[in-house]
Each structure stands twice: as C-alpha cells, then as structure tokens.
Chain A
Amino acid sequence: MSRISPPGWLAGLALTVTILVGLFAVPADAAQGDVQRIMYVHVPSAWLAYLAFFVTLAAGLLFLRRQDLRFDRVAVASAEIGLVLTGLTIATGAIWGKATWGKWWDWDPRLTTTAILFVIYAGYLLLRQSIVDRRRRARLAAVFGTVAFLNVPIVHFSVLWWRGLHQPPTVIRPGDPTIDHLLLAELLASVASFTLVYLWVLRRRVDLEATRDAAELALEPAG
C-alpha cells in the first residue's frame, strides 16, 4: 500500500494552512466581499497551469534532444496536472463570475482563450492515447506540446490585447501591484503552497508513469 511521503505531508499541510488563512484570517476585499477569497485558488491554479504547460514544453524538447523517456514521463505528468489546474481555473472563475458579473460564463477573451487552452491539452492527451509505440508517442507528443504552448502567451496577454470583462493584471504588471499588501501576501503564500502540491503530485505521477513503462516493457514479446 502506498504511503504519503514527508514532502507530501508538507505540501498538504501548506495548502491546508493557506486555505484556512485565506478563508478566515485575511480580511475580505472592501469592494467584492467574501467572494474575492476564491482568488486564493483561482490565481494559483492559473499560474501553476502555465508553469505545468511550460514544463511539458521543456521536457518534450529535452526528450527530442536526448531521446530519454524520463523526460517524456515528466511531460505527460505535467500536462495532466496542467489540464486539471486549467479546469480548476475555469470552474473557480465561473463561480466568481456568477457572484460578480451575474453569469457563469461570458465570451470574454481571457475566458475563451483559457477554454481553448483546456481543449488543446485535452487533444495532447488524446494524441498520446492514440499512439501505441512508446517512443513514437513521446516524439509526436513533444512536437504537439511545442505547438500547443503557443497558446499560453495568448491566454496571458489576452486581457491586454482585447477589451473584455476580465480584469487586467494586478500583480505581474509595470509598477506596484494594485492589490492590498496583506491580500498579496496571502496570494503569494497560496501560490507557494500550490507549487509544493504541484511538485509533489508531479513526482508521484512520474513514478507511476515509470511503473507503467516497466510493465509495458515486461509485457512486450521477447526479441
């Protein structure tokens, strides 16, 4: 039976503490009220999804260069986590949108490009499932992962390139962040704890992929 390792406990504890602090300790936003607290899940999910897809890109390129399947395991693991995080970003954004804009969904450029990002990486995983040969699968997925990543900057800059309902950047922007410093500290703590969870899940998922590869190899006919 698999046990949770100390890094897993640490990541879980950090996430629990930051969520509890975000829900009960940090004051609510003066304008939006309690619904703003969803930002402590929404923003880290979105940033970590970008990171996860960047890791997929980098690991894919490293596979193409070194032909080492360990990089492909990292690529697929990170893509799966990125897809889940993108889904979480869309879901939390919809909940926030219902409370703030009065509707679950709007054809806003940021929302639409994020949904497209979700579909592109779902396509990445579908492509992987459609190819039997292990090395061929890794090679084609690496190319697709490279092309797919083109959409990530489009998602990030969509709020600057097109007018929409989604607010422009409040933290990563020229000049000071347009957010209260206490709320910013909690947001950064959330990003840190989400990162720990991402790294722990990535590690576990890579181990699982290695086990699957070993099983596939063992089942292949000899010669």
Chain B
Amino acid sequence: MNLAAAAIALARKDLLVELRARQAIASAVALAAVALVLVGLAGGPDPDRLRALAPALVWIALLYASIAVADRLERIDRADDAFSGLWLVLPDRRAMYLGRVISLAIFLAVLQLTLWMAAALLLDLPLAIDALALVPLAALSALTAATATALVVALVADAGHRPLLLPVALLPLLVPTFLAGVQASSAVLDSRAGDAATWAAALLIEAALFSGLGLLTYETAASPD
C-alpha cells in the first residue's frame, strides 16, 4: 500500500469511527456554539459590531473546536495500543500524519461551514452570492489548521498535563492561520476578492510549510518508544 492509499485508509477510519460514535464532532460543535454565544454576549447587542466581529468569532470557536476534535481522535488511536499496532504495520509512517491531516481537515471544514451558518443566523450576517467563496476558503483554512494541529497533537500525546499543554503549544502556532483566515473571510464577506486571494495565498504557504515540516518530523515526533 503506497503512502497516499494508506493515508486515505487511515482518514477513512477516523471518519467512520466518528460517524458511528459522533463524539468528537458533537463536543466540538457544542464547544464552538458556547464560544460563539459567549463572545457574542460579551460583545454586546450592537448588530454592526457583531457583524464586524463575526469572522473572528467563527475562528476563535473553530480553533478551540479543533483542539477538541484532534485530542479526541488521538486518544482513540492511543487507547488499547491501537497506535502501536499501526506504527508496527505501516511501512511508511508519514501516512499516519497525512491521514490525520485529511480527516481533521474534513472535520474542520464541515465545522467551519456549520459555524458560518450559525453566525449568519445569530449575528444576522448578510450572506450574498459572493459568500459562496467561503466554501473553498473553509476547505483551505481547515487544511492549513489541520497540518499544524496533527503534528502538535502527536508531539504532546504522551506528555503530562496534556489538556493544558495542547492549547498552550498549539494555539500560538496557529496565530498566523487565525490571522489569515479572519482576514480572508472578512474580505469575502465585504466582497473584496483581491484581498481574499492574497490572504488565501498566505494560508496556502502556511499549509505548505506546516505539511512539509510535518512530513519531515512526524516519525520523530510520534514515535512511541
């Protein structure tokens, strides 16, 4: 089985497990909804202010949800020595990183689109036809976030204080992704196609950097010995 086929098989495994258990996505949606409502409440009732804050709100909710999803997927793998089994069986262990990136990216893209719909309802966002560009943007930004998250979650998998360590280690690294994502989605909502394309290019560069580093270092980072 080559690298791509193994990665797709592992991503499929993650998605199937989640479709049957519906734990990661349920907790992520709940977490994201709470974050959206709380920050919306803290921001006050001014609709213009909330509309201006919407991209940042969606992204803050998404970042916290990404931690919940990634942690859940990693814990499933580490339970009952499943991870060690995969480690021994796979000829190219980078497939484990790629598989996790694919499944996380799918989860985060779906979650992001769900959040945009929730934001449109709760924050009265005027979603014009241009807003359809949020769909490919969600896919790209989810991929970018997934490339960093999959690596960091493997790094801290066996560390002590993991619930504290994971956000502390991951969130600062995701700040460039957060910034580019917020700016790109703001540009889409304001129909500024040129700006959106620039920030989407920044997301693409970040995805290339993180996935390059991930492929180079995953085996070192995730080795169970």
Answer yes or no: are A and B bound together in one complex: yes
Q: Which of A108-123 contact B (CB under 8 A)?
A: 113, 116, 119-120, 122-123
CA distance A122 to B165 in the complex (A): 11
Of all chain A residues, the one with the shortest Cβ separation from B167 is: A123
Q: A127-B156, A130-B159, A131-B158 are in contact. Are A143 and B209 (CB under 8 A)?
A: no
Residues on B with C-beta less than 8 A from A150 are: 173, 209, 213
Does A154 lie at the interface of the complex (its beta carbon under 8 Å from any beta carbon of B)? Answer: yes
Q: Which of A67-102 contact B (CB under 8 A)?
A: none
- The verdict on A140 contacting chain B, using a C-beta distance below 8 Å, is yes
A148 and B220 contacting across the interface, CB-CB below 8 Å: no
Q: Which residues of B are found within 8 Å of A147, using beta-carbon distances?
A: 148, 151-152, 173, 210, 213, 217
- Which residues of chain A have C-beta atoms less than 8 A from B176's C-beta? 151, 154
Closest beta carbon of chain B to A72's beta carbon, Å: 13
Give, as a whole number of angstroms, the nearest-CB distance from A223 to chain B: 18
With A126-B165, A147-B151, A147-B213 known as contacts, the answer to whether A120 contacts B158 (CB < 8 A) is no
**Across the interface, do B223 and A139 meet the contact criterion of CB distance under 8 Å?**
yes
**A64 at the B interface (CB under 8 A):** yes
In the complex the two chains form, is A131's CB within 8 Å of B160's CB? Answer: yes
> How many residues on the A side are at the interface (Cβ–Cβ under 8 A)?
24
Smallest CB separation, B78 vs chain A (Å): 15
Is A36 close to B, CB under 8 A?
A: no
Q: A154 — which chain B residues lie within 8 A by C-beta?
A: 176
Task: Report the number of A-B residue pairs with Cβ-Cβ less than 8 Å.
Answer: 67
Distance of B183 from chain A, by nearest CB (Å): 10
A147 to B152, CA, bound (A): 9
A40 → chain B, closest Cβ, in Å? 29
- Given A64-B220, A139-B220, A140-B221, does the pair A130, B213 have CB atoms closer than 8 Å? no
B161 located at the interface, meaning its Cβ lies under 8 Å from any Cβ of chain A in the complex: yes
B35: interface (CB < 8 Å): no
Determine if B155 and A116 form an interchain contact, defined as CB atoms under 8 angstroms apart: no
Contact of B45 with A by CB under 8 A: no
User: For residue B165, which residues in chain A have a CB less than 8 angstroms away from its CB?
Assistant: 123, 126-127, 130
A125 to B110, CA, bound (A): 34
> Would you call A131 and B217 a contact (CB within 8 A)?
no
Considering the chains assembled together, what is the distance between the CA atoms of A142 and B217 in angstroms?
Answer: 10
Residues in A with CB closer than 8 Å to B151 are 143, 147
> In the assembly, what is the distance between CA of A127 and CA of B168, in Å?
9
**Chain B, residue nearest A109 (CB):** B179
B159 near A127 with CB under 8 A, answer: yes
B30 at the interface (CB under 8 A from A): no
A47 at the interface (CB under 8 A from B): no
Contacts of B169 in A (CB 8 A): 123, 126-127, 144
Q: In the complex where A130-B165, A131-B159 touch, is A143 in contact with B221 (Cβ < 8 A)?
A: yes
Residue interface bits B209-225, CB-to-A below 8 A is 1, else 0:
11001000100110101
Given A131-B160, A150-B209: A116 in contact with B172 (beta carbons within 8 A): yes
Closest residue of chain A to B156 (Cβ to Cβ) is A127
Contact with A along B26-45 (1 / 0, CB 8 A): 00000000000000000000
Contacts of B117 in A (CB 8 A): none
Q: Chain A residues with Cβ under 8 A from B220's Cβ?
A: 64, 139, 142-143
Residues of B within 8 A of A (CB): 148, 151-152, 155-156, 158-162, 165, 168-169, 172-173, 175-176, 209-210, 213, 217, 220-221, 223, 225
Interface residues of chain A, those whose CB is within 8 Å of chain B, are 64, 113, 116, 119-120, 122-123, 126-127, 130-132, 136, 139-140, 142-144, 146-148, 150-151, 154
